[in-house]
């Protein structure tokens, strides 16, 4: 009898966890289809180059950006209004969802420009005092928990963010990035953005 009771209890726990996992996935998909899909795509692929790809992005970095949008520390329309409606649990669930989505990269046609970007990304520019991007974002552009994955990101989005840091229109994560981005020439920005898009 005790065996049957304990078996039934384990079964109940299993069923509850399955349903709760399923309802969690349903909630995330609802959030994605209602709030994220139009700009970032259902799987974070962002077919338009003006929006960032979220697929495969580091979870803690995504959480930080959503919280910065929510608090107004980072200002981008309509992200501030969208993030303001999200709970902490929903932010974590969205970050986990996009982190697990399949990665993509771009085909790089201008190999010579990409080679300049590769050099700067991996070695920096000692003549203008630019540190290697890889020192923070990793050799393969995968980033860290709190540093964004750059590999496979849209070239245009990367160049716009670098220009945003230079002009201080990017209102968060600016302390370190401003000191680097403002030393980059337009050619170097385009080269780095092209290179990482193909990783």
Give me the number of domains the chain comprises: 2
Looking at the structure, tell me whether residues 12 and 35 fall in a common domain: yes
Residue-wise burial string across 172-190, b where 16 or more C-beta atoms lie within 10 A, e elsewhere? bbbeebbebbeebeeebbb
Q: Residue 20's pLDDT is what?
A: 41
Q: State residue 1's pLDDT score.
A: 52
Domain boundary among 47, 74, 99: 99
Q: What is the pLDDT of residue 100?
A: 97
Question: Nearest CA to 122 among 173, 192, 179?
Answer: 192
Can you read off the two tokens belonging to residue 111? 């190999």
Whether residue 78 has a cis bond before it, omega within 30° of 0: yes
Cβ-contact 121, 141 below 8 angstroms: yes
Kindly state whether residue 106 falls inside one of the protein's structural domains: no
pLDDT of 23: 61
Residue 197: the pLDDT is 98
Asked if residue 131 belongs to a domain, the reply is yes
Assess whether 91 and 133 both reside in one domain.
Answer: no
Predicted pLDDT at 27: 87
| Helices marked H in the chain | 2-31, 37-40, 59-71, 79-84, 88-99, 111-123, 134-137, 155-167, 174-181, 186-197
In a domain, residue 134? The reply is yes
Which pLDDT score, from 0 to 100, does residue 22 have? 59
Give the model confidence (pLDDT) of 60-99 as tens digits: 999 999 999 999 999 999 999 999 999 999 999 999 999 9
Q: Are residues 11 and 78 in the same domain?
A: yes
Give the global pTM.
0.86
User: DSSP for 67-111?
Assistant: HHHHHTSS--TTHHHHHHT--HHHHHHHHHHHHTSPP--PPP--H
Q: 92 and 42 share a domain?
A: yes
Angle 16-97-22 (CA atoms, 0-180°, nearest 5)? 20
Per-residue tens of pLDDT for the chain, all 199 residues: 544 444 433 433 333 333 345 567 888 999 999 999 999 999 999 989 999 999 999 999 999 999 999 999 999 999 999 999 999 999 999 999 999 999 999 999 999 999 999 999 999 999 999 999 999 999 999 999 999 999 999 999 999 999 999 999 998 998 899 999 999 999 999 999 999 999 9
- Reply yes or no: is the peptide bond before residue 126 cis, omega within 30 of 0: no
Question: Do residue 95 and residue 177 come from a single domain?
Answer: no
- The vertex-56 CA angle with 169 and 73, nearest 5°, equals 25
Report the candidate in 171, 158, 170, 161 with the shortest Cα–Cα distance to residue 197.
158
Residue ranges making up the domain that contains 65: 2-99
Angle at 17 between CA 43 and CA 85, to 5 degrees: 50
The C-alpha atoms of residue 30 and residue 25 are separated, in whole angstroms, by 8
| Residues 94, 119 within the same domain | no
């Amino acid at each position: 009898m005790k065996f049957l009771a304990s078996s039934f209890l384990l079964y109940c726990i299993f069923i509850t966890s399955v349903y709760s996992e399923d309802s969690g996935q349903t909630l995330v998909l609802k959030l994605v289809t209602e709030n994220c899909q139009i700009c970032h795509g259902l799987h974070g692929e962002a077919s338009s180059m003006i929006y960032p790809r979220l697929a495969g992005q580091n979870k803690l970095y995504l959480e930080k950006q959503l919280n910065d949008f929510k608090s107004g520390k980072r200002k981008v329309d309509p992200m501030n209004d969208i993030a303001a409606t999200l709970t902490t649990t929903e932010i974590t669930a969205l970050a986990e969802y996009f982190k697990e989505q399949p990665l993509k990269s771009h085909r790089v046609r201008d190999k010579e420009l990409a080679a300049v970007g590769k050099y700067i990304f991996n070695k920096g520019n000692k003549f203008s005092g630019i540190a290697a991007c890889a020192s923070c974002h990793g050799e393969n552009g995968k980033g860290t928990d709190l540093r964004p994955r750059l590999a496979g990101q849209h070239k245009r989005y990367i160049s716009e963010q670098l220009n945003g840091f230079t002009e201080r229109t990017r209102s968060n994560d600016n302390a370190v990035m401003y000191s680097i981005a403002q030393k980059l020439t337009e050619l170097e920005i385009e080269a780095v953005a092209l290179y990482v898009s193909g990783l």
